[in-house]
Structure 1
Amino acid sequence: MKKIVTGSCSLPLLVLALSVSLIVGCSSATNETVANLSRETVKARLNKLPSSLINSDLFNTSVIEPTQLFNNLYFVGYVSVGTFVIDTSQGIVLIDTMWTPHDAENVIVPGIKKLGLTPEEIKYVIITHGHSDHYGGAHYFENKYGAEILMRDEEWSYIHDPEAPVLTDPFGNLSTEIPSPTSYTSVSDGQTMVFGDTTLTILATPDHTPGGMSLIMEVTNNGEPHTVALWGGTGLPDTKKANQSYLSSLNYFQKVVNERQADVTLSNHPFSKDLIKNMDLLRKQPSRKPNPLVVGNKRLNDYIDSELRESVEEKLSSFE
């Protein structure tokens, strides 16, 4: 891995019935704007967004009760987006960091503590792709805990590309106002990363974003090994060429899923793939057998074919 130092999403809109036990605190998180924006500015920015987005789960900042998914894997975050926390013998590894530094300090860190883990043990942050709801808290962990930021070169460039789309978050921040990390360690396709007793494999899967990546993770459930496949970005791009590339990425991802016999699929957007419902089951019965997240390789393939592939093929047909 090479370390590089520099200077300073659209998704399907799903509506889920949320169990009351899923939500802690008030129904929506309060969040300081990064640039200390006035209420009028925030309101004006949000008013420019489609009401279908504002009212969707992608903008739902209700806090989900921190949840242990497997022996070494946990979730903290909102209904809209969250962070996976991997507890390894080499320290804590985070996968994505939500919308903002405020999320990092006031949602992720308290969630980690509530799970009985120690934030000071955070050593690495993996960024799956360069939308601000995934990298927004990365700078905080770099600055506060000295965490090493792991991402692909193409995505580092994308985050700093002045031509990249400017996104607005649920709190009125523009993605250009979110502080990005000051350094990163480059990771590449097919790279196996060993964090003590835990192994992850990096898969380059553009084109949700140009340098997006997916992950294959080894986890255990009551000592029984399982393989998690995390698809790095669900929303489809705008052009025919980019959608063709997206489909190629999906084919590659599925090939590795089958080679590794992955039997669990997860998303950093917990409103998808029944993650919220399954986390509720896990909290009610922590030693639940079988773990509801273990769906088996066949059902994982069914998800790839019937949802992800069908979606991109339909989009491609619209260009004809």
Structure 2
Amino acid sequence: MEKLKLNLIEKWDTNGEYTFVHSCGILSDGRALVLTSEAENYRKYSVLELSSQGIRKVAAFDYTDSRRNYPVFFKYGEGFGIIKPENELLYYTVDFSSPLVIPIKNGSLFSGKVVPEKAEQRYFQVVSDSTLIPVCFENKVYYDLSRCFALLDIDFKAKSAKWKSFLEIDKQGFTNHDESNEEMPKIDSLKILNNEIYAFTSGESTTSVNKWGLDYYAIAKISDKGKVIKKYIESDNLKRSEKKGGVNGVFTDSDYVILTPLFKSDEWKGKQRVFSLSNGEYFDIGFPKGMSKHKLHNINGSLCLTSLYDRGLQEIALCKFEG
């Protein structure tokens, strides 16, 4: 198996001030954007701009007293957007100092609400090459997971946005789906590319995956009705194995999907791999010297964003791979 060998460009120390890299993007000029939350109050979210000038907080959102809704980050052009639970979109560009504020319409008097009132946004990484943004949601049962998604249609010129649909992925499209319950597949990450929707699902199981593992996982192209059109990866039924296992997946600003195993005891020995949507190949990741404990979060062209977590977010790094 070939290996993507990463070379360090720049590293930033965050010293445990923040929790995790919730979602992120890399601009064409090499600046990185990261949605994270404060270690002392994980309900206070920030977007960090990382560049040769250092780390700059360019946006902050306090949801200490709200429901468990999360702000959703997406990259568009040379800027980024934040979809707020209050049916409002903020788009930051140029120096990120003054965002464009766009209200989000959620249905009409005749059609009713598109996104249910009690549905809650999840900040899981989403990627789109257009102004149609897929967003992960949880509805009815709340475990900080996502089993639903909505499509947000944005018109930046008209300064308007509207939810177009609210969907689940049809479990019948997966070989190892569970007929014994009504739970739909969980969604780790979503991507829209050339007007087509891609999803990574980490199975359907409601048990603790960190303890028992996943039942299955898959990468699939789905329709705007939630039907599975094509499967790029589909695991076996992992529950039949004596070993607990499973992989989480995140789409990137490139052809690659980042795959992160849940356990170090599996055949990947806990090491991340990337999967190419275009040619179906897997690649190992070769981190720079001294960065073997880093995790890969995004790829744009040959630029890669990684981070080190150790009881808090300690480092964020920008790397580059050849080829």
What TM-score comes out, normalization by structure 2 length?
0.31
The structure with the largest helix share of the pair is 1
What TM-score comes out, normalization by structure 1 length?
0.31
